[in-house]
Structure 1
Amino acid sequence: MSYKIFVDGQEGTTGLQINEYLAQRDDVEVLRIDADKRKDPAERKRLINASDITFLCLPDDAAREAVALADNPATCIIDASTAHRVHPGWVYGLPELERQQRERIRTSKRIANPGCHATAFILALRPLVASGLLPAGTQVAAHSITGYSGGGKKMIESYRNAQRIDAPRPYALALTHKHLPEMRAHTGLDIAPIFVPIVGPFYKGLAVTAYLHPGQFARKATPAEVQKILADYYAGEAFIRVHPCDLEAATDGGFFNVEASNDSNRVDLFVFGNEERMLVVSRLDNLGKGASGAAVQSMNIHLGIDETKGLV
């Protein structure tokens, strides 16, 4: 069976990557919009409603406008923008979130694709909150270092054209990053984290580091016990690897490689530290599991296809 897929915003970073995934498939037909009609509401509406799946790779306001064009009840919208990630009428497109999430994705016609920083943060913290180890009222501090592709076309151009941007650059220093609502809502935390993202001088790759003090825990726990909570929660997951508590094996002489999950839909989770202070690190490809790969994974689940199809 062939499914009809439309990518609204196909020229953006996420849209281009989704098209690369789809180009390798023999079970989908990609509906193309003529370049001169990309902003034509009538043509976009026609293609959206002719599709089984429409991916929205658009700014938030444009994504909301696109949703308003959809009147075919059989069309599933997967929105890669921030617009609907905590909207009560939309399902969050993170299958590993909890046991019921895949069924929600399978049956919903409105799926919000998670943010890259949020995916890494949520997958690191959700099991600890769900287990009761980390109380919901805890305010967690975290940072994320990411490749510049996460900033889209404008940032990519600035890095490629600039004579020198060699240093990492923290941003969102007002502590109001747009991923905070989903980071709070989908971990089960009552309080948004203190979160600082950092853009590095490399194309892609992302690692979120959450800082945990055992005094925050509801009961005593060692790094090995925290690692076991993560490993048990994600047992059997195709795209999540929970690594043993082995600093030497997880690093290169103590240095952590942010790019080591690139070109995959994989999330690698690590626990570092000791009984007095700990780190949980979550690493992914910000263009893979952090964006386009996650969208294709949700598409597969919704269509009843093996969710790993076309992904590594």
Structure 2
Amino acid sequence: MPELPEVETVRRGLEPAMEGAVVTRLEARRPDLRFPLPEDFEARVSGRQILGLGRRAKYLLIDLDDGQTIISHLGMSGSFRVEDDEAAAMPGEFHHARSKDGKHDHVLFHLTRNGKSARVIYNDPRRFGFMHLWARSELDHYPAFAELGPEPTGNTLDADYLAQRFQDRIQPLKSILLDQTVIAGLGNIYVCEALWRSGLSPLRKAGTLVTKASKPKAQLVDLAHSIREVIADAIAAGGSSLRDHIQADGSLGYFQHTFSVYDREGHDCAREGCSGVVQRITQAGRSSFYCAQCQK
């Protein structure tokens, strides 16, 4: 499933084609994806202007001029493709290959912008993605957003906040960092990378990073910084760019080539001066990659 940097790459790739455009026609080729499409979806979106594109955690937000927002999740295999009279491009960086097979084109946005026409096509072979319509003023009450923690890209995520959430917690760091009520949109790849950067084991109990006075220890300060840093680096590189994931301009991102531990089982640890080897363990059904020698 795409992680936050991948969804942010999709948002940035779609923005030039969609922001400010008028949806001359929305074409829904089937009544449902993972869930039924919104009632009267075609009629409610056709004729609307797109004011802007946003993101909350791993959800893409498309704001319309009538106060409604299309909330889109890519699921396991969803992708958007931009087509105009001159070219086609698929924005985003994904772990698995994305389909360009037209029989899986389920939702088409027919757009006009500055006198030019374009199409933004949602393709999803497995149909695990979905689209909902929600009032923009009520987004905080959308069920999936109601209890989300802060984004890992802003200043709200700092060591003091993490100390509040970690205090007296006996859960392993890996588990608590994947809890979306603690941090929104942080997924398996970037948790592994952030823990490696901060020298912390995914098995370590979260509460051990907080003092008896409820203050963050130095390692927790490092962890907060590492989370923000690894997400920023991945977004700057265009997502994780695993396999054939392509950006809007057709170029590949390169963050995958700087993975330090993720999917590197049996490789030498990349930390200078460490002679350890990357291991893979399973935690709550998810693979954790780490170096037991330098991550404590």
Query: Shared fold by TM > 0.5?
Result: no
| TM-score calculated relative to the size of structure 2 | 0.31
- Tell me which structure has the larger Cα radius of gyration: 2
Q: Could you say which structure has the higher helix fraction?
A: 1
